Amino acid sequence: MSDGAAGSGFAELLRELKDRSGLSYGTLAKRLHMSTSTLHRYCNGDAVPADYAPVERLARLCKAGPEELVELHRQWVLADAVRGRKPDAPEKPEKPEKPAEAVVTAEPEPEPERVPESESDPMPVPEVVVGPGAAVRGRRVPRPALLAGIAVVALFGAVLAAVQLPSGGTDDKSAGPAGATAAAGATPHRTHRSPTAPTAGSSAASKTPSASSSAPAAGPAEDTATAGSSPTADDSTAAPPLTVNTQPYSWESPCSQRYLIERAPDDVAPPPLESDATAWVTAHQAVSSGEQYVTLTVQGSGTGSVVLEGLTVRTAERSSPLAWNDYAMGYPGVGCGGNVPTRSFTVALDAMRPAVVPEAGHRDFPFKVSESDPEVFYIRADASAYYVGWYLELSWSSGSRHGTLRIDDKGRPFRTSGNNGRPAYEFPLGGEAWRTASSAG
């Protein structure tokens, strides 16, 4: 399929949704927080969005049905894949095989006859070590000279042993090994280690902590030295100079927040307030439906400033969307809205390599924080075709120190699932029970 074919199918669906909505390009672009020219390029097939989040918001704004949502996502995946495809590399020619070398067998030479040595012939002397760095290579010397040399070596070894005796007295048990070490040409060296300080490669230095909403994320493994070298004593025991407060169940607005729950409507409590969302989600073992809105508050914990170099998405698991019931947090008939706050980012979890992308008009990393100047980041992660378990990694540096901090849901990955075609329920304002949603999506 060519680039034009993939892009034209995707753009044609966008134009059909736009025309059917009766809204102008300017009105749609304003509600989607993007420029009118950008929306024109998407609908004309001149460009393909880098992530699926704005496409799904456009489709829902235009009242797309479940089947249309699935087809639109399929067309976006095709267009995005064709856009990022690289030409195949030319195949390298195979190297010709080397001809087998002829094996030449040579007849063994006759062994020379041994001539017995007389008693007066010189003897070979092995290498004798008489001190650090000094040695006498094996050579033939007359037997009287050999005996004299051995006597000199023995006398010199006794002198070295006497010099190496500890100051506490000659009856110390360590005198023997010290003398032997000196005679072997090695200098004894003692290393003093703290009984509580972890050594490089130990299990205490290999654990990776997780940032949560209840405790500052810290750990020696996150403050690492250059790869391939051992961290200093200060770096291996000190915590990273920053804290991250994570709110995994924030709401951009009640109308946009939904949860998948493996329970019947009669077994689900009424929608909570946003401040009680974490407890409500935990009690129902709910999973964010369609999108998850995560708020991160990053603050320095030392006297200096910390540079936040980047935020990376890591996928822990991926499978088909959960076949559970979909419950909306907003009340029908109640208006919802709000501006997109600064430091807002989107993550398209359906992509093969999800990335943290700043919202239109917002700046990207790096940022700088300190104890008196924190930063708040808003992450909107969208999923339509998959159930995804994911977490974030925050890269930081402060002076000569640097590290990577894992951010997740109290030690577990964030969980977000697509909800296309799932039974949807809403809770009427002033009502007493969940009811089937008036319109899907």
Give the tens place of pLDDT for each residue, 271-327: 988 889 999 999 999 999 999 999 999 999 888 899 999 999 999 999 999 999 999
Two structure tokens written together for 284: 């129902």
Q: What is the pLDDT of residues 353-371, one digit of tens each?
A: 999 999 988 899 999 999 9
SS3 letters across 202-254:
CHHHCCCCEECCCCCCCCHHHEECCCCCCCCHHHHHCCCCEEEEEEEEECCCH
Helix (H, G, I), strand (E, B) or coil at 267: helix
Amino acid at 68: E
In the chain, the percentage of residues whose pLDDT exceeds 90 is 33
The model's pLDDT over 51-103, given as tens digits with 9 standing for 90+, comes to: 888 888 888 888 888 888 888 888 888 888 777 554 444 444 444 444 444 44
For the beta carbon of residue 364, count every other beta carbon within 10 angstroms. Answer: 11
327-341 confidence digits (pLDDT tens): 998 766 555 555 557
- Can you give the pLDDT at residue 186? 40
pLDDT band at 161 (very low <50, low <70, confident <90, very high): low
Residues with Cβ within 8 Å of residue 34, at least 6 apart in sequence: 54, 360
Please tell me which of 161-175, 388-402, 425-439 the model is most confident about, judged by mean pLDDT. Answer: 388-402
pLDDT at position 392 is 97
- Would you state the pLDDT for residue 348? 95
According to the model, what pLDDT value does residue 67 have?
82
Lowest-pLDDT range of 101-115, 140-154, 403-417? 101-115
End-to-end CA distance of the chain: 31
- What mean pLDDT comes out for the span 429-440? 78
Q: Which residues contact 343 (CB under 8 A, 6 or more apart)?
A: 362, 367, 375, 376, 377, 378
Mean of the per-residue pLDDT values of the chain: 73
Number of residues in the chain: 441
pLDDT score of 438 more than 50: yes
**Predicted confidence band of residue 164 (pLDDT cuts 50, 70, 90):** low
Position 134 pLDDT exceeds 60: no
- Label residue 45 left, alpha or beta by phi (over 0 means left) and psi (-120 to 50 means alpha): left
Q: d(Cα 79, Cα 44) in Å, to the nearest integer?
A: 13
More confident residue, 406 or 275: 406
Asked if pLDDT for residue 155 goes beyond 80, the answer is no
Please name each of the domains of the chain with its CATH number.
Answer: 3-82 (1.10.260), 210-226+233-436 (no CATH)
CA distances from 199 to 202, 207, 218, 228, 402 (A): 6, 13, 18, 14, 19
The number of angstroms, rounded, from the C-alpha of 246 to the middle of its chain's C-alpha atoms is: 17
* Secondary structure class of 389 (helix, strand, coil): strand
The predicted model scores a pTM of: 0.50
What residues have CB less than 8 Å from 99, skipping those under 6 apart? Answer: none
Phi/psi for 73 (5° steps) reads -65, -40
Q: Is the dihedral of CA 427, 428, 430, 431 positive or negative?
A: negative
Question: Where in 23-165 does DSSP place strands (E)?
Answer: 123-124, 128-131, 134-136, 140-141
Q: Does the pLDDT at position 187 exceed 70?
A: no
Distance CA 148, CA 153 (A): 9
Task: Examine the pLDDT at 121 and tell me if it is beyond 60.
Answer: no
Reading the block at residue 207, the tokens are 């654990």
Residue ranges with strand state E in 115-183: 123-124, 128-131, 134-136, 140-141
